[in-house]
Amino acid sequence: MGLFDFALNIGKKLFGAENEAPAALQKAIEEDNPGIENLQVQVKDGKAVLSGTAKSAEALEKAVLIAGNVQGIENVDAAGVKIADGSAVASDDQFYTIEKGDTLWKIAEHAYGNGAKYQKIFEANREVIKDPDKIYPGQKIRIPKNL
């Protein structure tokens, strides 16, 4: 997974100065435990660079979303993360940037034809969505293809 773009000034505020960012991002990723071992985080000019070993492509995707949905991070480069199980990282069409007026119900209706499946989206994004009623424009989430 190469470079992934995010909204720089939107997201959870985890750090004040950029020199605090690597430790703050590493702690956030490790607390939500997406399955990254030997995680190393570097940040320069709003770009977070992740390295380590992911247990799966899903774990890598979640780590990228955790880091990218933080205020002050505009790009996440995860090219330095190896995927242990050999699975491939999903294409960009499995990711969605929340827009003004969106709800998880509306997103599920569009993605699956059934708004009641919003719980699947919520479960796939627990690391970045703590409450299904509290999403915000600019936030990036995963839209699982397999239900």
Domain that holds residue 11: 3-83
The reported pTM is: 0.89
How far apart (Å, rounded) are the C-alpha atoms in residues 90 and 114? 22
Q: Average pLDDT of 89-101?
A: 80
How far apart (Å, rounded) are the C-alpha atoms in residues 42 and 21? 8
Q: Average pLDDT of 115-121?
A: 96
pLDDT tops 80 at residue 117: yes
State the average pLDDT for the chain.
91
> Is 119 domain-assigned?
yes
Whether residue 115 sits in one domain with residue 75: no
Note whether 50 and 77 are within 8 A (CB): yes
pLDDT tops 80 at residue 147: no
How far apart (Å, rounded) are the C-alpha atoms in residues 50 and 70? 14
Of residues 113 and 90, more confidence is placed in: 113
> Is 147 domain-assigned?
no
| Token pair recorded at residue 52 | 């380590």
Note whether 26 and 37 are within 8 A (CB): no
